[in-house]
Chains A and B, each alone.
Chain A
Amino acid sequence: GDSVTQTEGPVTVSESESLIINCTYSATSIAYPNLFWYVRYPGEGLQLLLKVITAGQKGSSRGFEATYNKETTSFHLQKASVQESDSAVYYCALGSSNTNKVVFGTGTRLQVLP
């Protein structure tokens, strides 16, 4: 079936360090997957961080970037310099407009130390 595998947390980094959270996907029933990163900040609801619907394209938001790599079936989340306010749980997700199904990874808790 369709699935998403992402870096197991918690991930702890110091402020101003770089970050990468790995995400790989398997889309056995989806011909043209849409890829997403969602984030849940402490005390807030789950919200979209960025999305990419075309292979080879890059999405960016709030200093985070992710490139849709169809060859390696990956969608890693990166940031050059994290801030304490980036502390949150990050979810990689795989969607399909054909089936109205969106599959989430297990989530990665990020803690940024001051």
Chain B
Amino acid sequence: AQTIHQWPVAEIKAVGSPLSLGCTIKGKSSPNLYWYWQATGGTLQQLFYSITVGQVESVVQLNLSASRPKDDQFILSTEKLLLSHSGFYLCAWSLGVENTLYFGAGTRLSVL
């Protein structure tokens, strides 16, 4: 069975501090990987996607970056957090051409 694990579950960070969120998918080879972000009361916005190791496409510019160092790992990061980065971050994977997304439990980020 496939599993997707996100870490950490929650973070409270100061403005200007760095951030690293992670996501690991087990049980699937070469999945497409995605990062989504949802501001409080807002909609889900796709931030990045990756179809292979080392390649990441940006969808929305939010002063964040993403990397895929291994086939089963997707990292979201920034060197300097903004207040506007607060929200809920979701990692997801998909296979094939139908774009069905399978989500992790998410990370809640509060930037103070």
Docked-complex contact B103 and A107, CB < 8 angstroms: no
- Does A100 count as interface, using CB distance less than 8 angstroms? yes
Smallest CB separation, A112 vs chain B (Å): 22
Smallest CB separation, B37 vs chain A (Å): 11
- Does A36 count as interface, using CB distance less than 8 angstroms? yes
Docked-complex contact B44 and A104, CB < 8 angstroms: yes
- Does A51 count as interface, using CB distance less than 8 angstroms? yes
Question: In the bound complex, how far is the Cα of B42 from the Cα of A34, in angstroms?
Answer: 23
Docked-complex contact A34 and B106, CB < 8 angstroms: no
Docked-complex contact A107 and B43, CB < 8 angstroms: yes
Knowing A45-B103, A46-B103 are in contact, say whether A103-B46 is a contact too (CB < 8 A): yes
How many positions in chain B have a CB within 8 Å of any CB in the partner chain?
Answer: 24
- Does A97 count as interface, using CB distance less than 8 angstroms? yes
How many positions in chain A have a CB within 8 Å of any CB in the partner chain?
Answer: 22
B59-112, CB < 8 A from A: 59, 90, 96-106
Docked-complex contact A51 and B100, CB < 8 angstroms: yes
Docked-complex contact A97 and B43, CB < 8 angstroms: no
Contact digits for B22-66, partner A, Cβ 8 Å, 1 yes 0 no: 000000000010101000001111100101000001010000000
Identity of the chain B residue whose Cβ is nearest the Cβ of A48 in the assembled complex: B100
User: Which residues of chain B are near A105, meaning CB under 8 Å?
Assistant: 43
User: Which residues of chain A are near B32, meaning CB under 8 Å?
Assistant: 100
Question: In the bound complex, how far is the Cα of B81 from the Cα of A26, in angstroms?
Answer: 33
- Does A55 count as interface, using CB distance less than 8 angstroms? no
The residues of A with any CB-CB pair to B shorter than 8 Å are 34, 36, 38, 45-48, 51, 53, 91, 93, 95-97, 100-107
The residues of B with any CB-CB pair to A shorter than 8 Å are 32, 34, 36, 42-46, 49, 51, 57, 59, 90, 96-106
